[in-house]
């Protein structure tokens, strides 16, 4: 899934029997709760229902101190606004576009699947939430995202086509990506741990996008599994530049703001530093790779605790969750996830080289494992075939031996019979004389 991107996403969950967007999913989408924490709260909610208590998800979250009362109120307000927006979706009309369906919801806006009439093509259509239209800061950031990304053109970036305003709504249209997010791939993988070769290949393609836009003095600041799309052909597309950093940040008053998703945020972002550059995206990409390989984010806890951990706590050894990971994988992760930006990969070319070496090595291992398995099967089949042939030869030899014995017995009986006849004949002749 993806929050506020121009990508194909799975619809958000709904409360049964209600049109409201799910409270827990909205909390996760806005970085106030982790997916693991939400699962635990749902389990407690189900257990309470079995006991006849029927506790609400909000009550459980507050009791476990996973969110504050104010944060819960914020989610409820967003839930109410999003519900109203969705109910009004049928009334949304934009010149030159036909709204088809809802793709996803996020902090800044809703994303719809639409058709651009003039080009007769499907697009992802992003509309700023009503609640932010009167907020000058968020309105500027929404337009800034469209302006900046609209100038970029790279195969590993989602392309923006158009930006505009229709009545009270701000919108922009972008490339419609037919595929799934890395978040989806993690969820579907065995033990939620992706194959090393595939995970590293996704990182390499994402890094190509970073290497491209860094030359425009742009920092994404929100690289994470839900913002990385994989097309049906395997092409990686990075989207959602809602937290992008550019030369316009000073003009728009964004300096010193903490922007990003807690599970993948770089330490310098978490501390609100102004001198954030592409190395922050390298860190977030490393945190994403860690999640792809281990099946979990690096740190647990509330968003504030997780962000603090990114600034102080060393990277947990990924082999704790996946002992089979090799030293070369861990070494690359450690360097990508250095707390000090100056100790990370300063040269993207070096990171490319290390990632490509990992991909080649682990892809080769997977192929070798397949070939070994194939050889073992063929060897077993050949052994079985040899045993079968050997048994057939033994049976054939036994049959030949039996036939020879039978023939010899017949000859012996013939000789004996001849001898008896000769003896009787001799006896008769002797008596006659």
| List 222, 249, 263, 281, catalytic entry | 222
Q: Rounded to whole angstroms, how far apart are CA atoms 192 and 165?
A: 41
Find all residues with CB under 8 Å of 429, minimum gap 6, and list them: none
Asked if 44 contacts 60 with a C-beta cutoff of 8 angstroms, the reply is: yes
Rounded distance between C-alpha atoms, residue 303 and residue 32, angstroms: 6
Helix and strand element counts for the chain (H, E): 14, 8
CA distance 215 to 244: 14
Of 233, 80, 75, nearest in space to 156 by CA: 233
Length, in residues, of the chain: 433
Do the beta carbons of residue 352 and residue 207 sit within 8 Å? yes
Q: Where are the beta strands (DSSP E) in 168-289?
A: 169-175, 179-181, 228-231, 236-238
Catalytic residue at 59? no
* Other C-beta atoms lying within 10 Å of the C-beta of residue 126: 30
Instruction: Please name the residue that has the structure tokens 């909000």.
Output: 58
The values of phi and psi at residue 193, to 5°, are -120, 115
- Catalytically active residues, by annotation: 222
């Amino acid at each position: 899934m993806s929050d506020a991107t121009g990508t194909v996403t799975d619809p958000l969950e709904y409360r049964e029997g209600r049109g409201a967007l799910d409270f827990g999913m909205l909390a996760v989408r806005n970085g106030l709760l982790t997916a693991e924490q939400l699962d635990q709260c749902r389990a407690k909610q189900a257990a309470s229902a079995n006991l006849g208590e029927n506790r609400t998800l909000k009550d459980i979250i507050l009791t476990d101190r996973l969110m504050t009362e104010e944060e819960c109120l914020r989610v409820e307000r967003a839930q109410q606004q999003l519900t109203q927006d969705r109910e009004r979706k049928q009334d949304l009309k934009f010149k030159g576009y036909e709204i088809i369906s809802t793709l996803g919801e996020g902090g800044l806006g809703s994303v719809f699947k639409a058709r651009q009439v003039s080009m007769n093509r499907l697009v992802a259509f992003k509309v700023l939430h009503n609640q932010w239209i009167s907020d000058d800061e968020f309105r500027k950031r929404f337009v800034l995202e469209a302006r900046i990304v609209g100038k970029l053109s790279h195969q590993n970036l989602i392309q923006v086509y158009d930006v505009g305003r229709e009545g009270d709504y701000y919108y922009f249209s972008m490339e419609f990506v037919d595929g799934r997010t890395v978040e989806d791939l993690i969820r579907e993988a065995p033990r939620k741990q992706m194959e090393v070769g595939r995970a590293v290949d996704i990182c390499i393609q994402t890094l190509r996008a970073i290497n491209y836009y860094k030359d425009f003095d742009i920092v994404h600041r929100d690289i994470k599994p839900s913002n990385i799309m994989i097309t049906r052909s395997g092409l990686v597309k990075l989207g959602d530049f809602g937290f992008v950093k550019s030369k316009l940040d000073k003009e728009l008053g964004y300096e010193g703001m903490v922007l990003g998703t807690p599970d993948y945020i770089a330490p310098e972002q978490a501390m609100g530093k102004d001198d954030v550059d592409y190395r922050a995206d390298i860190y977030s990409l490393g945190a994403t790779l860690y999640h792809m390989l281990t099946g979990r984010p690096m740190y647990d806890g509330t968003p504030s605790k997780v962000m603090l951990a990114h600034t102080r706590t060393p990277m947990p050894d990924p082999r704790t969750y996946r002992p089979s990971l090799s030293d070369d994988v861990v070494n690359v992760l450690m360097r990508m996830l250095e707390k000090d930006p100056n100790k990370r990969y300063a040269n993207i070319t070096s990171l490319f080289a290390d990632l490509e070496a990992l991909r080649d090595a682990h892809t080769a291992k997977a192929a070798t494992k397949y070939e070994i398995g194939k050889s073992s099967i063929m060897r077993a089949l050949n052994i079985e075939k040899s045993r079968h042939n050997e048994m057939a030869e033994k049976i054939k030899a036994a049959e030949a031996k039996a036939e020879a014995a039978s023939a010899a017995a017949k000859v012996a009986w013939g000789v004996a019979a001849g001898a008896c006849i000769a003896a009787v004949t001799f006896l008769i002749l002797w008596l006659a004389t």
